[in-house]
Amino acid sequence: MSYPDYGKTFALWREGAGQSWHDYVTHPFVEGLRDGSLPRASFLHYLIQDYVYLVHYSRAWSLGVIKAETQDEMKICAGTVHALVNHEMALHVETCAAAGISEEALFNAGETTENLAYTRYVLDAGMQGDFLDLMAALAPCVLGYGEIGARLAQTASGDTPYMQWIETYAGDEYQEVCRTAGAMIDKAVERRIGNDLSASPRCEILQARYTKATQLEVGFWDMGLRGQ
Ligand SMILES: Cc1ncc(C[n+]2csc(CCO)c2C)c(N)n1
């Protein structure tokens, strides 16, 4: 099956991540969302951890504002921080509130090791490196959920209780976010490396960051499944 077009850097990194990418986007947790078999307790466990994830993930996009070299990069990073803190997290708060879990409980939830490993890895990639190192570690999250949403919208059972989750990521608004992020990454590569990333000495390390973040996404789904 084809995948969405989020630009040429995404296509290269996605291909380079190979089996890890496949494991991420077709994980049993994702299949459980698609066919509705995912236990509610697993979903809630995932959502609570994901709230904490988004706190640190927002910090990583804030680092993007610091590492940006153009106005366009700065605007997109600042806009993403705003969207995360004021909108994306609200979705988690709403769903958890309906299950009797308060925002304070979410903010103070104990962080699992898989969760901590992922976000601190991304932050460290950004602190050690430049804007591209940070983007390579951030990209699997943004673009992976876009690809997952687009696929699930076409194949999900009509009666899955997770349709709202699927529609959030499959919807035009989120797909546009992915295209904008993909185009911004292509421009950032062009500016710092030129038009042939695969021939650059930086290619290997950027790919390693992208692949590692992808594997940490797989670990995050595994963690979600354990919350049954
Ligand atoms: C573990 C984990 N990975 C990816 C996402 C997806 N995601 C995180 S922030 C965001 C908005 C755009 O930056 C999206 C789609 C998630 N929620 N949790």
Q: Give the DSSP letter string of the chain.
A: -------HHHHHHHHHHHHHHHHHHT-HHHHHHHHS-S-HHHHHHHHHHHHHHHHHHHHHHHHHHHH--SHHHHHHHHHHHHHIIIIIHHHHHHHHHHTT--HHHHHTPPPPHHHHHHHHHHHHHHHHS-HHHHHHHHHHHHHHHHHHHHHHHHH--TT-TTHHHHHHHHSHHHHHHHHHHHHHHHHHHHHHT-S-GGGSTTHHHHHHHHHHHHHHHHHHHHHHHH--
Residue 130 domain-assigned? Answer: yes
Burial of 25 (0-12, 13-18, 19+ CB in 10 A): buried
Residue 88: per-residue pLDDT: 87
Domain that holds residue 105: 8-226
Asked whether the whole model's pTM tops 0.90, one would answer yes
> CB under 8 Å to 29, separation ≥6 — which residues?
38, 42, 46, 221, 222, 224, 225
Residue 54: per-residue pLDDT: 96
How many domains would you assign to the chain? Answer: 1
199 Cα: distance to centroid of ligand 1 (angstroms):
30
128 Cα: distance to centroid of ligand 1 (angstroms):
22
Q: CATH number for the domain including 177? A: 1.20.910.10
Ligand 1 atom 12, closest CA = 142
Q: Please report, in tens digits, the pLDDT of each residue of the chain (228 residues total).
A: 689 999 999 999 999 999 999 999 999 999 999 999 999 999 999 999 999 999 999 999 999 999 999 999 999 999 999 999 998 898 899 989 998 999 999 988 999 999 999 999 999 999 999 999 999 999 999 999 999 999 999 999 999 999 999 999 999 999 999 999 999 999 999 999 999 999 999 999 999 999 999 999 999 999 999 985
Residue 2 domain-assigned? Answer: no
ipTM of the complex: 0.95
Residue 36 domain-assigned? Answer: yes
- Please name the residue that has the structure tokens 């769903």: 95
Residue 51 domain-assigned? Answer: yes
Q: Is 50 in the pocket of ligand 1 (CB under 6 A)?
A: yes
Q: Is 88 in the pocket of ligand 1 (CB under 6 A)?
A: yes
Residue 1: per-residue pLDDT: 63
Residue 107: per-residue pLDDT: 87
State the catalytic residues. Answer: 141, 217
Residue 1 domain-assigned? Answer: no
Residue 138 domain-assigned? Answer: yes
Residue 3 domain-assigned? Answer: no
145 Cα: distance to centroid of ligand 1 (angstroms):
7
Between the CA of residue 53 and those of 11, 88, 155, 168, 207, what are the distances in Å?
26, 12, 27, 18, 23
Mutate which of 57, 58, 174 for ligand 1 pocket (most atoms within 8 A of beta carbon): 57
Residue 91: per-residue pLDDT: 82
> How many other CB atoms are there within 10 angstroms of residue 139's CB atom?
25
Report whether 211 contacts 17 (CB < 8 A).
Answer: yes
Residue 132 domain-assigned? Answer: yes
Residue 228: per-residue pLDDT: 59
